[in-house]
């Protein structure tokens, strides 16, 4: 049984030795261990340990309790995950299909160990693509007058059946009420290298500024537009010959890569939120 341990606590001596001994005493074999400390900016410590073991059910419970007790003694918190568990992912999309196609392919190919709970869209055009994979497609059209009603239906469609939500070029701004009501992580892909070129038409903005690289940014959605903690970014060079349409073509590939890498890191429990930043273990 492969297990992932995530620890967050104030930085201090002996943390790695303490948990390594716990895992060893439980018969576990550590496969990977990653650590990060914010010292001297505040002295917070983060650790992700992946290990194999073959516990009986009662041993699992005892080990989890030991981990909790040690974390409390360190002034922090710990979480344990079974690496075999598949997270349930809901996807929101509008009319651009490239990120959606990439995510569905990676799930189908086993590259992303997740289940797609449903796909929600404010347009009908992608229904055949989604239903061809045997996935429920939920069409929820929206305009300014119906936004509150549409978001209520959106919440009903995803809240109880997904562990997180991915905005795969969903060209609507999720309201504060929606984000609070959902209460789980929402990952968005923005078609620029944030914090530059926020909002609409970032490729046009980039072209007009004569940038030498363009990028795409996967980040957690927050009430502040395009301000959420960044998970992944990808960039590509810009040629003097590139017009706006060529930038968009390059950008689509970057968006696919950045979003897929962010989702993979998230479902592998390699992402820890830290205020306006993230710690992403390799």
The set of catalytic residues is: 226
Angle value at C-alpha 86, between 83 and 90, nearest 5 degrees: 140
Cα–Cα dist 7/71, whole Å: 7
Residue 79's Cα: distance from chain center in Å? 17
Cα–Cα dist 38/49, whole Å: 18
Cβ-based neighbours of 93, under 8 Å, separated by 6 or more: 99, 100, 119, 120, 121, 126, 167, 168, 169, 170
Cα–Cα dist 150/156, whole Å: 10
CA dihedral 100, 104, 107, 109 (to 10 degrees): -130
Structure tokens at 40: 């001297």
Cα–Cα dist 52/30, whole Å: 7
Q: Give yes or no for a cis peptide into 260 (omega within 30° of 0).
A: no
């Amino acid at each position: 049984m492969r297990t992932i341990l995530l620890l967050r606590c104030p930085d201090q001596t002996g943390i790695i030795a303490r948990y390594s001994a716990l895992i060893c005493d439980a018969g576990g074999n550590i496969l990977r261990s990653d650590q990060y400390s914010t010292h001297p900016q505040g002295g917070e410590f983060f650790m992700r340990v992946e290990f194999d073991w073959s516990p009986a059910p009662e041993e699992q419970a005892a080990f989890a309790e030991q981990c909790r007790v040690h974390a409390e003694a360190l002034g922090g918190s710990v979480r344990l995950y079974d690496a075999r568990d598949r997270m349930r992912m809901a996807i929101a999309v509008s009319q651009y299909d490239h990120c959606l196609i990439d995510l569905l392919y990676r799930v189908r190919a086993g590259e992303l160990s997740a289940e797609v709970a449903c796909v929600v869209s404010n347009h009908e055009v992608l229904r055949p693509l989604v239903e061809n994979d045997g996935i429920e497609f939920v069409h929820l059209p929206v305009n300014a007058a119906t936004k509150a009603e549409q978001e209520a239906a959106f919440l009903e469609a995803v809240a109880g059946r997904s562990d997180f939500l991915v905005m795969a070029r969903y060209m609507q701004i999720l309201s504060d009420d929606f984000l609070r009501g959902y209460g789980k992580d929402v990952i968005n892909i923005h078609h620029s290298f944030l914090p530059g070129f926020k909002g609409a038409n970032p490729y046009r903005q980039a072209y007009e500024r004569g940038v030498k690289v363009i990028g795409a940014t996967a980040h957690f959605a927050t009430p502040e537009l395009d301000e959420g903690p960044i998970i992944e970014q990808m960039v590509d060079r810009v040629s003097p010959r590139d017009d706006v349409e060529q930038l968009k073509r390059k950008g689509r590939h970057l968006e696919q890569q950045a979003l897929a890498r962010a989702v993979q890191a998230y479902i592998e429990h390699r992402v820890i939120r830290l205020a306006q930043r993230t710690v992403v273990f390799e």
